[in-house]
Structure 1
Amino acid sequence: MIGGKSDAKADNMHGVKKKVVETKKAKKAAKDPDKAKSPASAFFIFMEDFRKQFKEENPKNKSKVPIHIAGGEKWKQLSDAEKAPYMAETRKWLADYHKKKDAYKKRVAAEDSDEEKSYKSLFEVD
């Protein structure tokens, strides 16, 4: 039918089927929940404390925007000495993250080698 819609799902003009693009949900589902999560930066650790303080000082504020703006301004005004506790906390979390990440990699490598061995054993002849 010229110029009209066809009942079949449309491919491109040359009859080549399009590749199926993975959806965001499919990509998200593929992530391993046991994988170590990267640690928060010093700024985000600071913001946890700042949010509590800001909410105590401004109980009527329901919006998040003023908290984020005020937190960013406050962070810029802090000296390196005032930022030091947050940096130390980040370093501690980072060290813990690297330990968990290394353990995860070892576990995954062991699982992969076990699967490979079991697959090879199917084809071995005694």
Structure 2
Amino acid sequence: MDSDDVLKAGLVLVAAFVLLPLLLGVMALPMLLGFGHTGMGIGGVGVLLWLVAGLVPLVVLVGIGYLLFTALSGDGEDRAIEELRAAYARGELTDEEFENRYERLRRDAEPSDER
């Protein structure tokens, strides 16, 4: 198990065991403070707090999902270059083959400006 796998597993555990209970607590905050009960009415501060308490966890969960997705998907270009370097180090490629393949990987990885 390499360090990337440990990092990915750590991110999943943090999201599951730390952030989820925290988000549930934020959602319950207006109820714990007593907002939304008598005296606040439909247009009162309680409705606003319930709206925020519902949207904040949603935004945080989407952010966590994005971070987990990017961490778990990895970067294929870096791995291809690592494999190319390993093959060169093992003597499977000549200098010219390595340079050609390296330049091609770099060129393919650059975003194109064509529209």
TM-score class, shorter: 0.3 to 0.5
Structure 2-normalised TM-score?
A: 0.37
Question: Highest CA radius of gyration, 1 or 2?
Answer: 1
Structure number with higher helix proportion = 2
Higher relative contact order (CA 8 A, sep 6+): 1
